[in-house]
């Protein structure tokens, strides 16, 4: 139970952990998301929020759905940098693995903060479900790659290109690593990624192909869809001619 607030060095409310790794471990054990509160001793809005919002009964009740931890940005620069904290107070909802799900910055009154936390809980559930689906898809893709026949590799590439456009870094990396492997043997399979609707995915694919085909690879990922489609077709012909 969170009681009175101690406005000490990190303006840490009573009952909040200050050990980030321990909070992650507790979250994993109890299958809870993490609420990370980035604060500082010199932060006026943090002091106000600690006195008011974080002692509100509705807030305290909602916090039961989290493993919650206060992080002093002056003492833990690395964590502040990792999660892109540029102002305090900043709150991050994380998965038990430490993946960032949602964030808010600045003073929050109790009602608004409860709503944000409640939405965060829903977003964590969606993130976990998406990660589980990703694991299943990745396992299926790995099986397709093992088969090495053209149809299986084509199917694997199509699924990996979709994953390369995901917003989560871990999913992007896993997809990119496998696309890199495919590009070593069949770069034409990866070409279609240059028509992906997301710029980030197109950039990853272009980097992969440039590493395999050299600096002469010249498809502009910023170009309009029609221009990119034409360039992809030209490169498909070039690669076919080399076989």
Q: pLDDT tens digits for the chain (243 residues)?
A: 343 344 344 567 878 999 999 999 999 999 999 999 999 999 999 999 999 999 999 999 999 999 999 999 999 999 999 999 999 999 999 999 999 999 999 999 999 999 999 999 999 999 899 889 999 999 999 999 999 899 999 999 999 998 988 877 788 889 999 999 999 889 999 999 999 999 989 999 999 999 999 989 999 999 999 999 999 999 999 999 887
| Active site annotation includes 46 | yes
Options 43, 71, 124, 171, the catalytic residue: 43
Alpha-carbon distance of 71 to 65, in angstroms, equals 19
Q: Which CATH superfamily, name and number, covers 20-127? A: Glutaredoxin (3.40.30.10)
Q: CATH 3.40.30.10: which residues of the chain?
A: 20-127
Whether the model pTM is above 0.75: no
User: Is 196 in contact with 127 (CB distance < 8 Å)?
Assistant: no
Options 46, 49, 174, 189, the catalytic residue: 46
Alpha-carbon distance of 42 to 189, in angstroms, equals 55
């Amino acid at each position: 139970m969170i009681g009175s607030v101690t406005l000490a060095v990190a303006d840490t409310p009573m009952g909040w952990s200050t050990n980030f790794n321990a909070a992650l471990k507790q979250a994993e054990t109890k299958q809870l998301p993490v609420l990370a509160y980035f604060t500082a001793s010199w932060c006026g809005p943090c002091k106000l929020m600690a006195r008011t919002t974080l002692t509100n009964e509705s807030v305290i009740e909602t916090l039961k759905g989290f493993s919650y931890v206060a992080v002093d940005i002056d003492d833990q620069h690395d964590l502040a940098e990792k999660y892109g904290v540029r102002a305090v107070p900043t709150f991050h909802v994380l998965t038990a693995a430490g993946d960032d799900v949602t964030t808010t910055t600045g003073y929050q009154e109790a009602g608004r903060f409860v709503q944000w936390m409640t939405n965060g809980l829903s977003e964590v559930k969606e993130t976990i479900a998406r990660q589980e689906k990703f694991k299943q898809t990745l396992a299926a893709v790995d099986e397709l790659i093992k088969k090495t026949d053209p149809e299986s590799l084509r199917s694997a590439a199509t699924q990996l290109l979709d994953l390369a456009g995901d917003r989560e870094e871990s999913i992007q990396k896993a997809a990119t690593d496998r696309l890199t492997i495919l590009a070593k043997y069949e770069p034409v399979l990866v070409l279609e990624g240059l028509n992906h609707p997301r710029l980030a995915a197109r950039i990853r694919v272009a980097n992969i192909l440039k590493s395999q085909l050299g600096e002469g690879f010249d498809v502009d990922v910023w170009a309009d869809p029609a221009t990119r489609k034409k360039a992809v077709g030209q490169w498909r012909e070039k690669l076919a001619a080399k076989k």
